[in-house]
Amino acid sequence: MGAQHTVTEVAAAVDATRLAADGVSVGYGARTVIEDLDVAIPSGVVTTIIGPNGCGKSTLLRTLSRLLKPTRGTVVLDGDDIGRLRTRDVAKKLGLLPQAPVAPEGLTVADLVARGRHPHQSWLRQWSSDDAAVVERALAMTGVSDLGDRPVDSLSGGQRQRVWISMTLAQGTDLLLLDEPTTYLDLAHAIDVLDLVDDLHESGCTVVMVLHDLNLATRYSDNLVVMKEGSILAQGHPRDVITAELLHEAFGLRAMVIDDPVGDRPLIVPIGRAHVQLP
């Protein structure tokens, strides 16, 4: 009986992978960016895709979110081939925030976030009290309730990104894909946005994101996917994955990996040519 229980638990854990890529190759025109890649996104944790510029991080995220159609292989969402699902059904399960989105000038925060309800609306039912409640919750969760009547373009970069994340939340999915949510943000605002991402994770969301900053990725993710030249070099918890050797292999970066003085994860100290005093 006990053994059986364990088997069920393992099965549940495997089932818990809601989003996975199965042997996908993706490219733009004749250029192949990703070749025969497998990845499973564990549920309920923050997964971050890292890698050098042009390694296919964003391409992978865009493929997982169905923005790009793989030339070979499939992306599986909740057991279905994502390419065979209706766009609208995908949007009900998976929230996506593309890189550096732009809102029309003058569009208010409340209006923008309300548009996140689109997958749940129809020509006849364009707005309901359900929608209102969800949007209100999304605004509150991202701490932008007070900004409801402000035009999005009048906000600071950090506030704006919170608003966009709020819109993605209003979609009502517990699977969020964020493409470089900290682009163009200063460090304080980047931390602010990533704290928000952690809040979302705490409230039960599965998050997949692309980040450039390795230390932020290490601090805020439970699962790192390290990419190089269109394939996955390593995957796992930052403590298991981040080593000086890996950083050199993936990025060609000389670095020292030390214990984070304020956290329980590694901290990457890059070693360049200048201003370095090695012992």
Partner 1 sequence: MSGKDLRPSGPDIQPDGAEVRPNRQDTRPAMTPGVRLGTVSFVWRPWNVLITVLLAAAAFLVFCLSIGIGDFPIGLDQVLATLLGRGEQVDEFVIMDLRMPRALAGLVVGIALGVSGAITQSVARNPLASPDILGITGGASAVAVFLVTVSGGTAAAVVNAVGLSAAALAGGLGTGLLVYFLAWRRGIDGFRLILIGISVSAVMEAITTWLLATADIRDVARAQAWLVGSLDGRSWDEVRVAIWGTLVLLVVVGGVSFQFKPLHLGDDVAAGLGVRYTRVRAVLLLCAVLLAGVAVSAAGPVPFVALVAPQVAMRLVRCPTPPIVASGVVGALLLIGADLVARTALPIGLPVGVVTAAIGGPFLVYLLVRANLR
The answer to whether residue 143 forms part of the interface with partner 1 (CB under 8 A) is yes
Binding mask of the shown chain, residues 75 to 104, with x at each position contacting partner 1 by CB under 8 A: -----------xxxxxxx-xxxxxx-xxxx
Residue number with CB closer to partner 1 (103 or 247): 103
Indicate the DSSP class of residue 227: E
Residue number with CB closer to partner 1 (87 or 277): 87
Residue number with CB closer to partner 1 (99 or 235): 99
Question: Scanning the structure block, which residue is given the tokens 């298991």?
Answer: 240
Cβ-in-10-Å burial (0-12, 13-18, 19+) of 72 comes to middle
d(CA 156, CA 151): 11
Site for partner 1 in 188-217 (CB under 8 A): 192, 195-196, 199, 203
Single residue of 146, 262, 277, 279 touching partner 1 by CB under 8 A: 146
Single residue of 43, 74, 108, 243 touching partner 1 by CB under 8 A: 108
Alpha carbon distance, N-terminus to C-terminus of the chain:
58
To partner 1, the closest distance from the beta carbon of 93 in angstroms equals 10
Indicate the DSSP class of residue 211: -
Single residue of 22, 80, 111, 174 touching partner 1 by CB under 8 A: 111
Single residue of 4, 6, 53, 122 touching partner 1 by CB under 8 A: 122
To partner 1, the closest distance from the beta carbon of 89 in angstroms equals 8
Single residue of 142, 182, 215, 223 touching partner 1 by CB under 8 A: 142
Residue number with CB closer to partner 1 (170 or 267): 170
d(CA 169, CA 165): 6
φ, ψ (nearest 5 deg) of residue 231: -135, 170
The answer to whether 24 touches 74, Cβ cutoff 8 Å, is: yes
Residue number with CB closer to partner 1 (8 or 203): 203
Indicate the DSSP class of residue 233: E
Residue number with CB closer to partner 1 (89 or 229): 89
Nearest to 239 by CA among 211, 268, 210: 268
The DSSP bridge pattern shows strands 95-97 and 175-179 to be parallel
The answer to whether 109 touches 152, Cβ cutoff 8 Å, is: yes
Binding mask of the shown chain, residues 10 to 49, with x at each position contacting partner 1 by CB under 8 A: ----------------------------------------
To partner 1, the closest distance from the beta carbon of 127 in angstroms equals 4
Q: Which residues contact 24 (CB under 8 A, 6 or more apart)?
A: 34, 36, 37, 38, 63, 70, 72, 73, 74, 75
φ, ψ (nearest 5 deg) of residue 37: -105, 135
| Contact set with partner 1 (CB under 8 A) | 65-67, 86-92, 94-99, 101-112, 114-116, 118-119, 121-123, 126-127, 129, 132-133, 135-136, 139-146, 148-151, 154-159, 168, 171, 192, 195-196, 199, 203
